[in-house]
Structure 1
Amino acid sequence: MFEPAHVVPIGEFSRLTYLSVKTLHHYHEVGLLEPASIDPSTGYRRYSLDQVGRAHLIRRLRDLDMPVADVRAVLLAPDVASRDATLRAHLERMEAELARTRAVVASLRELLSPASPLAVTFVEVPAQPVFALRAVVDAAGAGRWYDDARLRLDAALGQAGVRAAGPHGATWAREYFEDERGEIVAFVPVRAGARSGAPDGVASTELPGGRFAVAEHLGGFDDFDRTYGALGSHVVRHAVGLSDPIREFYRVGPAETPDPASYRTDVYWPVQAA
């Protein structure tokens, strides 16, 4: 059997690469790092010195939690552009996860600090004409669905030559919270009589009136549960809550500012009429 020059046993290769023998066996099994030669009678693996750099690259990519399939794509990339595209996509995912981790850490620190009393008011809300899109959505994809729905609503406003009569918002069905899947209605208030022409599925409809307990949520959505908890608790203590969808009005959100600390959301909790 042909054996390349400058090969070393797997134990020595382990020292050269800082990869354990067990790890090298695993990388062989999943097709990331084939030995330069394998003894047909003993199965003993030997590696070429030319493979040291490849092993170092694999180690660093795996240290970045890159999936094995993506590491393989990097190693087998036909050109530098393809390799860099895979690396760039993974780095972007890591940066997004890092931002998410920082937001959760900040939220946890906030949770450990005493909460400021939540100001809650009870209001009677008249029926409101809106342009709306509705869908049953999984919680994991709700953010993406709403972002797309908002763009479609804005397009409907433009096509109808209508200006929004208030901030964009959404209603969230009880099932969304209980089952992590439920109906969401994205809407934008419009003046009475405005018609969307139903472009791209946008309907001209009306949000029913009613009585609501209202509170303002300040900042991003990582600690949105605290506002929901405080508002819902206030309702339990001072009113009779209804199972109707909760409404949110995004007075200041991602469409208005890139700074989550500046977000302002009004939460409307439906309650029984006084």
Structure 2
Amino acid sequence: MERLQKVIARAGIASRRKAEELIKEGKVKVNGQIVTELGVKVTSNDKVEVDEVPIDKEEPVYFILYKPSGVISSVSDDKGRKVVTDFFPMIPQRIFPIGRLDYDTSGIILLTNDGEFSNLLQHPKYEIDKEYIAKVKGIPTKEQLRKLERGIVLEDGKTAPAQVKMISLDKKKNTAIIRLVIHEGRNRQVKRMLEAIGTPVMKLKRERYAFLDLSGLTAGDARELSPHEVKQLRAMASAKPR
């Protein structure tokens, strides 16, 4: 038996904390009965509904979105700001983002209603590359870039080695464009890494997630992943860690 909020979270409906809120608000039913207590446990034979929809009845769907800057990587925002799910008004499934991009960061983000798939892609032991292009203030030295390549100590520990390349620089404006490939997913990681070497980020874009890129998409565009792409991602996330 598992706690109800954990079952809801694993199904990808909401985070565990949000699932607890849904339970308290009387929006969750178990075997047809509204449940408002957090200690309830359920089995795989129990019928769990959130907002009258059984959590295991939706057909799994998988999307890639070119997230514009100024959009929240969430399904809702208490401040009324635009969220990534606003770009899918015709999708009946309750999709959610896999991981997140900062409000002012643009680029690739994946969305699904498949909680198992989301958890698999985000598991820290699987090293799925994410490529970022950053415009930074200041022009980093070769030694500063080597620090990123070796791994740099942040307040939450040392980062894994990164692939780093300076694409261009502007001496007059004292700025540079840097390509950075990492496989971790810590909060604000790329920004914190670049701040740590003294070159704060002015603009950031995620251009690649595993083998997926932004080809054919402009900011705000989305498309459904092909079955083959989903299979490839699942295989990558299930492969033996490096």
- Select the structure of larger CA radius of gyration: 1
Structure having the higher strand fraction is: 2
What TM-score, normalized to structure 1? 0.21
What TM-score, normalized to structure 2? 0.23
Higher relative contact order (CA 8 A, sep 6+): 2
Structure having the higher helix fraction is: 1
